[in-house]
Structure 1
Amino acid sequence: MSAGKNVFIVGPGFIGWNVLDLLVSEGYNVTGFVRRKEHGEQIKASGAQAVFGDLNDKQVITDQTIKHDIVLHTATADHLPSVEAIIDGIKQRASKGLSTIFIHTSGTSLTDDSRELGNNAKSDKVYRDNSREDVDSLPDDAPHRKIDLTIAKAQNDLGEKAKLAIMIPPLIYGFNHKHKRLSIQIPTLTRFALKHGHAAHVGKGLGVESNIHVLDLARAYIVLLHHMEKSSPAKVLENPYYFCETTGDQEPSWKDLAVVIGEQLHKAGKIKDPVPMELKQENWADTFGEFTGAVIGLNSRSRAVRLRELGWQPTEKDWRRSYIEDELPEILKEDQDGFAGYKGTAAS
């Protein structure tokens, strides 16, 4: 299936590097678009080629898209110029009779119904991807929606000349011991607790977000890719959306997460009191700034019906085991002096 297939990954970082490893192991020819020379050397060691630039280098991204049969965007859910550059390249390929598979990464902040920043109870609404209407009913100004709608429009414009899909993961956790990269939300909350001496949650912390281990997510991209390779363009056109989550009984509230963080840091002798407290807005700068409520106060539940129908199943550690056994030991190795919140793009 993979013989001769060329894959271009925009942003082979925390998510994409794991996908890259799996693609290389299956014999795909992979090129990663990276910013730093060091990371370029890392993905080369994983068996890929590297192209350097940033997400605003639209011409580079378009030119690379033209050269590749398959494109994956795993850098961020919210960068329109890079998505437009990919779409331009896909359209140029289509004009030459070349079909392209494109999988973009969005996030379940799309479905956030937490209007009171963590004060409301666990949401009763569960979004399922086997109903396209569930996603299409979301407001146009929902998080990530502008990008997703751009892709959906391109899908309609291209028709059967290309195959486009959108992966929509929830809270991502987990650790790959080869890559040594940590996720965003839970490690940031842990670093906050180390700095302030207590674990914290936004509001009452009663909202929940579904979750997924990064290695289960990486395998989901491969399952989806194989499905798209085998499916007709008309079949792919029916529904571009794919959720990806663990089973529903593993949906902790944000307070549940804070409790575990507090317990484990207290057990490690790093904080005096294991009981979490409300994250005061004056301290949001030490988490995600003005986006804190949207990143760690959301209420969003989703079900990966379609991936399960394709045979995918999550098999990695649950969030609690992963945190205690893998992520927390790495965080405790860090020097926390000067920690002032997460400054990158955080989108779930």
Structure 2
Amino acid sequence: MTTGKNVLVIGPGFIGWNIVDRLVSESYNVTGLVRRAAHGQQLKELSRANFIIGDLDDSTTVKNQTIQHDIIFHTATADHLPSVEAILAGISERAKEGKSTIYIHTSGTSVLNDDADGEYEGDKIYHDNKREEIDSVLDDAPHRPIDLTIVRGAKELGDKAKLAIMIPPLIYGYNPKHQRLSIQIPVLTRFALKHGYSGHVGKGLAVESQIHLDDLTRAYIVLLHHMESSSPSEFLKNPYFFCENGHDTSWKAIAEMIGKGLHKAGKIESPEPRTVPKSDYADLWGEYTPAVVGLNSRSRAVRLRALGWEAKEISVGDSFERFELPELLKE
């Protein structure tokens, strides 16, 4: 069985839109599943991609679109079970017709959450060439139930499809063409603007690996090309791929970066970060705040580097000062 070049990108937003651009530049026939017609028109005009209007909860649409495409990227969210189940159902239908499918799902390194709540720097580092390390995390860890659904689906499909799970850490970076921002750092910056100080969970000592958007986007394409020329057995054996730039940064250091930038811009009185009281978690991620910006999550992209990928982009601090902070101040 061979896989063609019809690609469906579910959720072409911050990550997915950049994937769309690179795929189009390599002459793939790309369709984005979007919620709003206005976004679809942007994809069509700026990226020369096709689009279809749909919602993640519309399982029929997701399944039918999967059936029509050879390659699927899910970049909308790491935690939506119905859409993943619909994709797997579509892949199964394709398999019955003798059609092979490549599916790359986006998870995240919150799956490595150690419940540190910012109180200490952990020394545990996970390597993606050692599946047993990833399988050691709890089945109810963030993102893990969805990841396990994909693993079970891959086992059922066997050699009729190739499924992989990309697990990025803290993502930073900005694409002026798309004008989309990442999640953690912008949310923490908006919190600081609202409350008058830059905050962190607990002591802010927990650390997480990081990756620039452009480095991550290139990693998806490197992984895709590898999957196109590889046996399904490789991904049945190990579907996991980390993607990081070699730097583990504490959440306190991130808060210091934000505080320094906002203080220099005259937006807060002091650059010194402070602990965010739990009563203010509602302005971050609610009860999930410690699992988003208070965890130790250290990963190593051994497998991507073995494929020739490497991180090349500017640091998180340079990116924040040059791109994210100016955009956030415009708000």
TM score, norm. by length of structure 2: 0.97
Note the 1:176-255 alignment, pairs <5 A. Answer: 176-247=175-246, 250-255=247-252
> What is the alpha-carbon distance in structure 2 between the residues aligned to residue 20 and residue 282 of structure 1?
40
CA drift of 1:306 comes to 0.1
SS in 2 for 1:33: strand
Tell me the amino acid that sits aligned with residue 265 of structure 1.
Answer: L
- Give the AA of the match of 1:96: E
Report the identity percentage: 63
User: How far apart are 1:292 and its partner, in Å?
Assistant: 1.1
Give the aligned partner of residue 173 of structure 2. 174
Say whether the 8 Å CA contact 1:128–1:303 is kept in structure 2. Answer: yes
Deviation sequence 1:162-221 (CA, Å, 0-9, x none)? 000000000111100111101111111111111111111010000011111111111100
Give the Cα–Cα distance (whole angstroms) in 1 for the partners of residues 14 and 281 of structure 2: 24
SS of the counterpart of 1:165? strand
* Pair 1:25-2:31 in alignment: no
The two structures have a TM-score, normalised by structure 1, of: 0.93
Partner in structure 2 of residue 149 of structure 1: 148
Native 8 Å contact 2:158 2:236 kept in 1: yes
* Range with bigger deviation, 137-146 or 90-99: 137-146
Deviation at 1:293, TM superposition (A): 1.2
Structure 1 residues 290-335: Cα deviation after superposition (integer angstroms, max 9, x where no partner): 211111111110000000000111111111100011100000000x
Contact 2:116 2:296 in 1 (8 A): no
Look up the match of 2:278: 281
Where does residue 117 of structure 1 map in the other structure?
117
Residue 4 of structure 1 and its aligned partner are, at CA, apart by 5.3
Report SS of the residue matched to 1:327: helix
Q: Any idea what SS the aligned residue of 1:167 has? A: strand
Query: Helix, strand or coil: the match of 1:332?
Result: helix
Query: C-alpha displacement at 1:3, in angstroms?
Result: 10
SS of residue in 1 equivalent to 2:40: helix
Structure 2 gaps of 5+ residues are: none
2:301 to 300, 304, 312: 304
2:3 and 2:101 in contact (8 A); partners too: no
Partner of 2:312: helix, strand, or coil? coil
Between the aligned partners of 1:245 and 1:144, the Cα distance in structure 2 is 18
C-alpha RMSD of the superposition: 1.2
Aligned partners of 2:190 and 2:20: how far apart in 1?
Answer: 29
| Letter paired with 2:192 | A
How far, CA to CA, are the matches of 2:244 and 2:318 in structure 1?
16
Give yes or no for the alignment of 1:264 onto 2:265: no
Q: Which residue of 1 aligns with 2:66?
A: 65
Flag as ranges the 4+ runs of structure 1 deviating above 3 A.
Answer: none
Match of 2:327 in 1: 330
Equivalent residues of 1:245, 1:303 under 8 A apart: yes
Which whole-Å CA distance do the structure 2 matches of 1:178 and 1:5 have between them? 25
Q: Distance in 2 between matches of 1:287 and 1:136?
A: 29
Q: Does residue 38 of structure 1 match 2:64?
A: no
**Once the two structures are superposed, what CA deviation does each residue of 1:258-282 show, in whole Å capped at 9, x if it has no partner?**
1111111111111111111100111
Question: In structure 2, what is the Cα distance between the partners aligned to 1:236 and 1:107?
Answer: 18
Contact 2:245 / 2:311 at 8 angstroms: preserved in 1? yes
1:234, distance to aligned residue in structure 2 (A):
2.1
Aligned mates of 2:13, 2:146 — CA distance in 1? 20
Deviation, structure 1 residue 7: 0.2
User: How far apart are residue 110 of structure 1 and its match?
Assistant: 0.7
